[in-house]
Amino acid sequence: MPDPAPVMVTGEMADPAAAAYDPWAAVVQRIDDAAALVGLNPDIHRMLRVPKRVLQVSVPVRMDDGHVEVFSGWRIHHDTTRGPAKGGIRFHPLTGAAEVAALAADMTLKTAVVDIPFGGGKGGVRCDPRLLSEGELERLTRRYTFEIASLLGPDSDVPAPDVNTDERVMAWVLDTIDMLHGRSLPGTVTGKPLSVGGMKLHSGATASGVVRCVRAVFAALGMDLVRARVVVQGFGKVGGPLAFLLWSAGMRVVAVADIGGAVHNPGGLDIGLLSDHVAATGSVSGFDGGAAIAAGDLWSVESELVVPAALEGAIDAADAAKLSAKVVVEAANGPTTPDADAVFDERGVTVVPDILANAGGVTASYFEWAQSRQGFAWDEDLVATRLGNTMDTAFEAVWARAQTLRVSMRRAAGALAVQRVADAIAARGLFP
Ligand code: NAD
């Protein structure tokens, strides 16, 4: 995966991420495979091979020095048959239409795997937030929100945080929508701050769901969790809490990488100290509780489990061939390329796919959305219990289907999801 260059990226139409790896082609390949597995009606198959709605917008922003930069942004709905479009907003210098569309399709499948009443959507702005001041970031967020506002709303499209966006950004999105409509619409956004109707367990929910899947897959494979070695790529909103939870569960987190570098300690890193280091310096790089390793060496570190929690396309076929772990749990969206998947199949590596493994985040978003619409705060224990139950039920359904069909968990999850979406499309019929 190329490192994003620290330059302002504005106004270009080409999709830079798609140059090296085409995420849309990858997701269509997965939909095609699922269609074949379930014997999908060809009409429904054709509908799922294209996004329902693609909105590209220009986002002019007054910069602090007085000039205007024009950024490109997207909001894409892949399918909304099962409910309002649900999916995060990402700010990244390499994002573009193909990536956002692929992530939207992933959301269609993900919401179906955990069986919550949403369709799939995603948003993105091509920018490097590290180069923006707080004021510039807020103006960019508000103008982008205004430009896509015709799509957003509790009954139509409900964004959440994704790469480089957080609850502060969600609060600006919500406020912009409320100002536009002149009323309070808290169900428009999830992952918002507690002070404006957010939910306590939301921020750690993706990581909790990943850990639930790690426990489930280790149990299913008869592997012992305690002292098992794990490699984590990404130490952000998902990877940070996740590494901490895995460490707290007794696993040895032997290597962690982020965009700044990678650290390795065969005996296990102290994730408490590493978190302090990242909080102080912004990166795992320079942490003295382990040795620096090249980013390219991360996947060959001796381990039982690998958890990619950064960006898509992170593990290619060459990486897959040298992976020492026999289990991969995908916390990131689309981290394994299709070629790498084939290598994992040959090598007998068990992959818990993204649309199952990281679905804890969207499940918590569902609870937050329901809470906002009810105007009634859910008890924290209820959220935790329901989140755990939803993840366990989804894991069991995917595992069982993989056994029945004798295919990988990814193919089984795709089949389960596509079948659920197809059932909904068939039940509603074609308009008009
Ligand atoms: P984030 O921006 O908070 O963190 C991203 C992390 O990845 C950072 O530590 C960054 O340094 C690291 N990273 C970026 N490029 C890298 C590279 N080339 N090599 C190594 N590390 C790199 O983002 P996040 O919210 O933690 O999301 C991570 C992944 O999880 C994404 O694929 C996202 O779509 C997915 N995801 C996030 C959520 C959520 O709740 N935030 C939910 C489901 C899925």
- The stretch 132-147 carries a mean pLDDT of 98
Question: What are the Cα distances from residue 221, in Å, to 183, 301, 399, 400?
Answer: 51, 21, 11, 13
Look over the chain and give the mean of its residue pLDDT values, rounded to a whole number. Answer: 94
Q: Is the pLDDT of residue 14 over 90?
A: no
pLDDT 10s digits, 153-180: 999 999 999 999 999 999 999 999 999 9
Residue 18 pLDDT level (bands cut at 50, 70, 90): low
Q: Whose CA is nearest to atom 4 of ligand 1?
A: 236
**What does the buried/exposed string (b/e) look like for 39-50 if buried means 16 or more CB atoms within 10 Å of the residue's CB?**
ebeeebbebbee
Q: Is 361 in the pocket of ligand 1 (CB under 6 A)?
A: yes
Q: Is the pLDDT of residue 4 over 70?
A: no
Q: Could you tell me how far CA 83 lies from the centroid of its own chain?
A: 19
Asked if the bond preceding 432 is cis, omega within 30° of 0, the reply is yes
Q: Whose CA is nearest to atom 36 of ligand 1?
A: 332
Atom from ligand 1 closest to the CA of residue 1:
18
Residue 7 pLDDT level (bands cut at 50, 70, 90): very low
Residue 311 is predicted with a pLDDT of: 83
Q: Whose CA is nearest to atom 17 of ligand 1?
A: 259
Residue 40 is predicted with a pLDDT of: 98
Residue 202 is predicted with a pLDDT of: 80
SS (HEC) of the chain? CCCCCCCCCCCCCCCHHHHHCCHHHHHHHHHHHHHHHHCCCHHHHHHHCCCCEEEEEEEEEECCCCCEEEEEEEEEEEECCCCCEEEEEEECCCCCHHHHHHHHHHHHHHHHHCCCCCEEEEEEEECCHHHCCHHHHHHHHHHHHHHHCCCCECCCEEEEECCCCCHHHHHHHHHHHHHHHCCCCHHHCCCCCHHHCCCCCHHHHHHHHHHHHHHHHHHHHCCCCCCCEEEEECCCCCHHHHHHHHHHCCCEEEEEEECCEEEECCCCCCHHHHHHHHHHHCCCCCCCCCEEECHHHHHHCCCCEEEECCCCCCECHHHHHHCCCCEEECCCCCCECHHHHHHHHHHCCEEECHHHHCCHHHHHHHHHHHHHHHCCCCCHHHHHHHHHHHHHHHHHHHHHHHHHHCCCHHHHHHHHHHHHHHHHHHHHCCCC
Question: Is 431 exposed, middle or buried, given 0-12, 13-18 or 19+ CB atoms closer than 10 A?
Answer: exposed
Q: Is the pLDDT of residue 407 over 70?
A: yes
Q: Whose CA is nearest to atom 31 of ligand 1?
A: 332
Q: Is 309 in the pocket of ligand 1 (CB under 6 A)?
A: yes
- The stretch 113-133 carries a mean pLDDT of 98
Q: Is the pLDDT of residue 134 over 80?
A: yes
Q: Is the pLDDT of residue 277 over 50?
A: yes
Atom from ligand 1 closest to the CA of residue 354:
44
- The stretch 52-81 carries a mean pLDDT of 98
Tell me how far the alpha carbon of residue 331 lies from the centroid of ligand 1, in angstroms.
Answer: 9
Q: Is the pLDDT of residue 17 over 60?
A: no
pLDDT 10s digits, 211-229: 999 999 999 999 999 999 9
- 116 compared with 7, residue with greater pLDDT: 116
- The stretch 34-44 carries a mean pLDDT of 98
Residue 11 is predicted with a pLDDT of: 44
Lowest mean pLDDT among 141-150, 165-174, 334-343: 334-343
Point out which residues pair with 143 in neighbouring strands.
none
Q: Is 233 in the pocket of ligand 1 (CB under 6 A)?
A: yes
Residue 400 is predicted with a pLDDT of: 98
Q: Is the pLDDT of residue 19 over 80?
A: no
Tell me how far the alpha carbon of residue 234 lies from the centroid of ligand 1, in angstroms.
Answer: 6
Residue whose pair of structure tokens reads 């929690």 in the numeric block: 309
pLDDT 10s digits, 377-406: 899 999 999 999 999 999 999 999 999 999
Q: Is 359 in the pocket of ligand 1 (CB under 6 A)?
A: no
Residue 20 is predicted with a pLDDT of: 65
d(CA 32, CA 26): 10
Domains, the chain, ordered by start: 11-29+46-193 (3.40.50.10860), 205-357 (3.40.50.720)
Q: Is 332 in the pocket of ligand 1 (CB under 6 A)?
A: yes
Tell me how far the alpha carbon of residue 259 lies from the centroid of ligand 1, in angstroms.
Answer: 10
Q: Is 33 in the pocket of ligand 1 (CB under 6 A)?
A: no
Q: Is 237 in the pocket of ligand 1 (CB under 6 A)?
A: yes
- 18 compared with 306, residue with greater pLDDT: 306
Question: What are the Cα distances from residue 13, in Å, to 9, 144, 326?
Answer: 11, 16, 40
pLDDT 10s digits, 353-377: 999 999 999 999 999 999 999 999 8
Tell me how far the alpha carbon of residue 174 lies from the centroid of ligand 1, in angstroms.
Answer: 23
Whole-model pTM? 0.92
d(CA 132, CA 270): 32
Residue 135 pLDDT level (bands cut at 50, 70, 90): very high
Tell me how far the alpha carbon of residue 237 lies from the centroid of ligand 1, in angstroms.
Answer: 7
Q: Is the pLDDT of residue 207 over 70?
A: yes
